[in-house]
Amino acid sequence: MSTPSGFLRGTRALFAAAAKSAAPLPKTNVASTSSKKPAAAAKPSKEKKASTSGIMKPTPISPTLQSLVGAPEISRVGAVKKIWEYIKLHNLQNPSDKREIICDDKLKKLFNGQDKVGFLQIAKLLSPHFIKTV
């Protein structure tokens, strides 16, 4: 059984010979290439639909979440961002374990009275605060 160094022993010489025998690439004129428009700019880009759906769609929220976010409706992603802004602003992350959030009074109301919450639980605990619309 050969070792990896024994297996690749002669490759340096092969690569060096191949590099010497390769023809140099032709030089291009910089002025001629800069006058052309890029292919992406030449084609009209297709715009995405103006309507959003899923977690990006603004939905009505509970009064408890409204007091923290400051808006009557927000997307799920936006709500999680606002929660993280609040956590960072009030320094509520556990210093020894950054994955753990220490809840103050506002967050306790929002997270069912829990004292500590894992960062992966935030979206799950926010779910009941989004009012379902038909």
Distance from C-alpha of 54 to C-alpha of 133, rounded to nearest angstrom: 13
Identify the DSSP state of 50.
S
What is the average per-residue pLDDT within 103-113? 94
Pull the structure tokens for residue 55. Answer: 């977690």
Which one, of 59, 119, 109, 121, lies nearest residue 87 by Cα?
A: 119
Domain chopping of the chain, boundaries: 54-129
Distance from C-alpha of 61 to C-alpha of 15, rounded to nearest angstrom: 64
Question: So what's the pLDDT on residue 116?
Answer: 95
Judge whether residue 4 has pLDDT over 90.
Answer: no
In this structure, how many other beta carbons lie within 10 angstroms of the beta carbon of residue 10?
9
CATH of domain 54-129: 1.10.245.10
pLDDT in tens, 47-75: 555 567 888 999 999 999 999 999 999 99
